């Protein structure tokens, strides 16, 4: 463990792969310096409309843009884009547009504290959002949903207003961490085209940014001026704010697809290239800005929360959860939901993962004869759970998205009518989406895809890490994956709240 597999066939060869930036229309747009702003502006306008409607519009969730857009359409589109392309939501993130505008007035002065340069805070915030989602029924409250979005904007402005670089994205943003870990399964990656070009590059603009000396500064130098007010370097294009040096970057972890490196590179040597999904989970080279996956317990914790949180989020929507809460309330004589939820969260996100991973790591030691210690084994193989976790999120979010895909039409009609715009007709509240019987096979397909992906990752890790008996090292993790996918299928066939589709009853 911890050994860089620099010659692994899983490492991509950009020159022989599809490159999105070489596609005529799309590539030309993405290479345009203002492409990100052009994508962020419409998303910001939609976010503003959502927030205003959430605060001032109808309180019934299925008739409000805030809840319908956030909990049905945004989540569904997000996971499907991550599956089919990559982390393009972070590319179009409206929070960064507001942050960049604010930085024209207030420049950050501080470096992010060294002891917080990890994922532990963001993992805690990820869990906190899952917890508040269930505790306050955010899916049913437009006001709370809009308030959460406003709090997000405020947090971005405060954190990145005080701290340099992209501290919020790299160390805090829960949505970003979800995107980072899910994008390890994406088919596209920002990567160099020809490493030899990078070897000859003296400026390293992809990480430092492209700069130039203004003409008046050259004039001051030519006249031997020693004025303290002589202008210095001007940044024409910033480099990667997340400290990912492209020649040593491996995979999509921590990459926001901002394409700053693409715009900064003077050699046009960076592309958005195809690669084998999940390949970065199967190898353990040193990664720029990250280090070794096998030594990052915080990223392993993110992978675990990502997987078991998917189960927990789905469990919170099915009938058995209410029976479990009622039983716990009687057992503990508790009348408040918060402590009951806290117990359920602790079981799902701490106790169950701890038992399963410890047992699998111990069995790996016993069966394979590996000399690796228990915790490093659990950390390394925890990444094999990521495909299965992503399959669960895909199954869950696609269910709501596909069964409610058309709900945005009457909600938008109603929102426009409330401000005097009646050109789009009377809201068609009977418009919903695909019937459940058509969506079930898609859910099963996503779960099967995630299960197979986890088996492949675990099998490859067992071959890399256990020269004695790879199959015996693989079997415990295959058993964990089988147990989790079985639980996911069971959850999928439980009665599930349709939530935003309650408009059929009230519309």
The pLDDT of residue 464 is 81
pLDDT over threshold 60, residue 233: no
pLDDT at 17: 81
Q: Check: CB of residue 184 under 8 Å from CB of residue 281.
A: yes
Q: What is the pTM of this model?
A: 0.91
Average pLDDT in the 359-372 region?
A: 91
Residue 106 has pLDDT above 70, yes or no: yes
Q: Which residue has the higher pLDDT, 470 or 153?
A: 153
* Token digits of residue 195: 């490493």
Cα atoms in the 13 Å half-sphere on the side-chain side of 254: 24
Q: Where are the beta strands (DSSP E) in 262-350?
A: 270-274
- Range 249-276 average pLDDT: 95
18 pLDDT tier (thresholds 50, 70, 90): very high
pLDDT value of position 313: 94
Taking residue 395's Cβ as centre, other Cβ atoms within 10 Å add up to: 27
CA-based angle 400:402:407, to the nearest 5? Answer: 80
With contact defined as beta carbons under 8 Å apart, do 462 and 471 qualify?
A: yes
Confidence of residue 385 (pLDDT cuts 50, 70, 90): very high
Q: Does the pLDDT value for residue 344 go beyond 70?
A: yes
What's the token pair of residue 102?
Answer: 């604010």
Residue 456's φ and ψ, nearest 5 degrees, are -65, -45
- Beta bridge partners, 192, equal 270
Whole-number Å distance between alpha carbons of 282 and 166? 28
Please give the pLDDT value at position 214. Answer: 55
**What is the pLDDT averaged over residues 105-115?**
94
Comparison of pLDDT for 501 and 348, the residue scoring more: 348
Identify the pLDDT of residue 219: 43
Phi-psi category of residue 114: left, alpha or beta, with phi > 0 → left and psi -120 to 50 → alpha: alpha
Mean pLDDT across 422-444: 91
Helices (H), 347-469: 352-368, 374-382, 386-403, 408-418, 436-465
The CA distance from 87 to 259, in Å, is: 11
Per-residue pLDDT reduced to its tens digit, 119-132: 999 999 999 999 99
Mean pLDDT for 435-443 is 94
Q: What is the pLDDT of residue 141?
A: 94
How buried is residue 473: exposed, middle or buried, by Cβ count under 10 Å (0-12/13-18/19+)? buried
Report the b/e string of 483-496 with b at 16+ CB within 10 A.
ebbeebeebbeeeb
Give me the chain's average pLDDT, please: 89
3-state secondary structure of 173: coil
Give the mean model confidence (pLDDT) for residues 387-402. 96
Nearest C-alpha neighbor of 260 from the set 288, 292, 236: 236
What pLDDT does 287 receive? Answer: 96
Which residues have C-beta within 8 Å of that of residue 175, sequence separation ≥ 6?
Answer: 89
Q: How far apart are CA 415 and CA 404, in angstroms?
A: 18
Band of pLDDT at residue 503, cut at 50, 70 and 90 = very low
Q: What is the rounded CA–CA span in Å between residue 393 and residue 387?
A: 10
Would you say 373 and 472 are in contact if contact means Cβ atoms under 8 Å apart? no
Across 12-19, average pLDDT: 66
pLDDT band with cut points at 50, 70 and 90 for residue 505:
very low
Tokens 């030899």 map to which residue? 196
Instruction: Please state the rounded mean pLDDT for residues 334-351.
Output: 94
Q: Contact 400/80 with Cβ under 8 angstroms?
A: no
C-alpha dihedral, 480 to 481 to 487 to 491, nearest 10°: 150
- Per-residue model confidence (pLDDT) at position 317: 86
Is the model's pLDDT at 216 over the cut of 90? no
- Whether the CB-CB separation of 184 and 253 falls below 8 Å is answered with yes
Query: 187-198, pLDDT tens digit by residue?
Result: 999 999 999 999
């Amino acid at each position: 463990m911890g050994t860089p597999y620099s010659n692994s066939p899983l490492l991509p060869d950009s020159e022989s792969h599809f490159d999105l930036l070489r596609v005529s229309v799309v590539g030309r747009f993405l290479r345009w310096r203002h492409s990100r702003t052009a994508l962020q502006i419409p998303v910001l306008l939609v976010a503003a409309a959502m927030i205003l409607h959430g605060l001032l519009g109808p309180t019934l969730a299925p008739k409000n843009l805030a809840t319908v857009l956030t909990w049905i359409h945004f989540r569904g589109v997000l996971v499907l884009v991550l599956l089919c392309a990559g982390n393009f939501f972070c590319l179009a993130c409206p929070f960064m547009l507001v942050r960049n505008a604010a930085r024209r007035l207030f420049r950050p002065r501080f470096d992010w504290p060294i002891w917080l340069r990890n994922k532990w805070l963001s993992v805690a915030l990820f869990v906190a959002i899952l917890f508040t989602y269930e505790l306050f029924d955010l899916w049913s409250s437009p006001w709370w949903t809009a308030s959460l979005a406003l709090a997000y904007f405020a947090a971005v402005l405060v954190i990145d207003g005080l701290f340099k670089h992209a501290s919020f994205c790299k160390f805090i943003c829960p949505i970003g961490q979800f995107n980072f870990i899910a994008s390890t399964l994406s088919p596209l990656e920002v990567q160099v085209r020809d490493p030899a070009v990078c070897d000859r590059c003296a400026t390293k603009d992809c990480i430092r940014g492209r700069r130039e000396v203004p003409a008046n500064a050259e004039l001051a130098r030519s006249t031997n001026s020693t004025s303290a007010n002589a202008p210095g370097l001007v940044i024409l294009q910033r480099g990667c704010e997340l400290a990912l040096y492209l020649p040593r970057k491996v995979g999509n972890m921590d990459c926001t697809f901002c394409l700053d490196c693409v715009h900064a590179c003077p050699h046009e040597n960076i592309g958005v290239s195809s690669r084998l999904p999940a390949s970065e989970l199967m190898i353990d080279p040193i990664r720029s800005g990250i280090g070794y996956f096998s030594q990052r317990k915080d990223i392993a914790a993110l992978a675990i929360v990502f997987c078991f949180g998917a189960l927990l989020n789905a469990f919170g929507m099915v009938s058995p959860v209410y029976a479990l809460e009622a039983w716990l309330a009687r057992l503990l004589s508790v009348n408040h939901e918060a402590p009951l939820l806290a117990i359920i969260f602790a079981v799902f996100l701490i106790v169950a993962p701890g038992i399963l991973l410890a047992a699998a790591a111990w069995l790996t030691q016993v069966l394979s004869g590996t000399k690796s210690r228990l915790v490093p084994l659990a950390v390394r193989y925890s990444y094999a759970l990521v495909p299965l976790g992503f399959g669960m999120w895909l199954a869950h979010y696609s269910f709501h998205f596909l069964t409610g895909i058309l709900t945005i039409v009457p909600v938008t009609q109603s929102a426009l009518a409330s401000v005097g715009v009646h050109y789009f007709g009377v809201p068609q509240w009977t418009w919903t989406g695909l019937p459940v019987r058509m969506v079930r096979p898609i859910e099963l397909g996503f779960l099967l895809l995630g299960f197979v992906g986890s088996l492949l990752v675990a099998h490859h890790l067992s071959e890399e890490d256990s020269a004695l008996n790879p199959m015996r090292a693989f079997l415990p993790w295959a058993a964990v994956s089988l147990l989790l996918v079985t639980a996911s299928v069971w959850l999928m066939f439980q009665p599930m709240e349709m939530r935003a589709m309650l408009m059929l009853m009230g519309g």
